[in-house]
């Protein structure tokens, strides 16, 4: 019920924010007005958001390798704030390598712990984004767009600095944030099934 009320509040506030946005845009000479919150999402936007996510994962890993944990954590926080919808409400996040009772991460703190570790509340997290990732490839099985929300499903393949590959099955759900940019509100990741 809490999530439902949060989403209703967002729906009630969003039109006012959308109306105010063009007026605010005039205060910045040459600044383009953001896309309206309820503008339909395109497949190209989903693909761009996926590429940005992969680039962010590599950026966190590289920052960790060159400048240490504190710097990587700062980058990860920026990524969570710009790519995910935690500022809009809970995000349905099921990372690849989590276990009960902390399998699902609906809070920003839980997601941050998964990506960079170092949080005593999540003792099993060692920092998935800190594993030396250097390149990635995203292969969508499909993208479904329904107005101002979209879902994608497919594989994400990532390689570390030594060339070791990890492939995961990935589902992302997107909505458009108040600033017109896509936000991840659903992120499910799992290792592909491997029969014995």
What are 48-95's pLDDT values in tens digits? 999 999 999 999 999 999 999 999 999 999 999 999 999 998 899 888
Q: Is residue 75 part of a domain?
A: yes
Strands 165-176 and 133-146, sheet pairing: unpaired
Residue 126 lies in domain: 41-190
Q: Is residue 13 part of a domain?
A: no
Phi-psi region of 74 (alpha: psi -120 to 50; beta: other; left: phi over 0): alpha
Q: Is residue 23 part of a domain?
A: no
**pLDDT bucket at 33, cuts 50 / 70 / 90:** low
Provide the edge-to-edge strand list for the sheet that holds 149-160: 92-94, 182-190, 165-176, 149-160, 133-146
Q: Is residue 48 part of a domain?
A: yes
What CATH number does the domain containing 167 carry?
Answer: 3.10.450.50
Res 26 pLDDT > 80? no
Q: Is residue 132 part of a domain?
A: yes
Q: Is residue 52 part of a domain?
A: yes
Q: Is residue 27 part of a domain?
A: no
Number of domains in the chain: 1
Res 156 pLDDT > 90? yes
Question: Which pLDDT does position 95 carry in this prediction?
Answer: 82
Q: Is residue 19 part of a domain?
A: no
């Amino acid at each position: 019920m809490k999530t439902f009320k949060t989403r209703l509040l967002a729906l009630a506030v969003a039109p006012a924010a959308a109306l105010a946005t063009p007026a605010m845009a005039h205060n910045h000479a040459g600044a383009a007005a953001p896309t309206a919150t309820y503008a339909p999402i395109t497949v190209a936007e989903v693909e761009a958001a996926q590429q940005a996510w992969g680039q962010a994962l590599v950026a966190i890993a590289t920052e960790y390798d060159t400048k240490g944990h504190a710097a990587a954590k700062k980058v990860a926080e920026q990524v969570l704030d710009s790519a995910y919808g935690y500022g809009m409400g809970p995000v349905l996040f099921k990372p690849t390598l989590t276990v009960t009772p902390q399998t699902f991460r609906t809070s920003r703190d839980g997601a941050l712990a998964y990506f960079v570790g170092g949080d005593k509340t999540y003792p099993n997290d060692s920092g998935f984004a800190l594993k030396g990732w250097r390149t990635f490839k995203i292969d969508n099985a499909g993208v479904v767009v329904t107005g101002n929300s979209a879902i994608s499903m497919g594989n994400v393949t990532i390689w570390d600095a030594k060339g070791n590959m990890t492939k995961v099955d990935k589902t992302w759900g997107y909505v458009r944030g108040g600033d017109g940019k896509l936000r991840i509100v659903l992120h499910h990741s799992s290792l592909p099934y491997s029969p014995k």
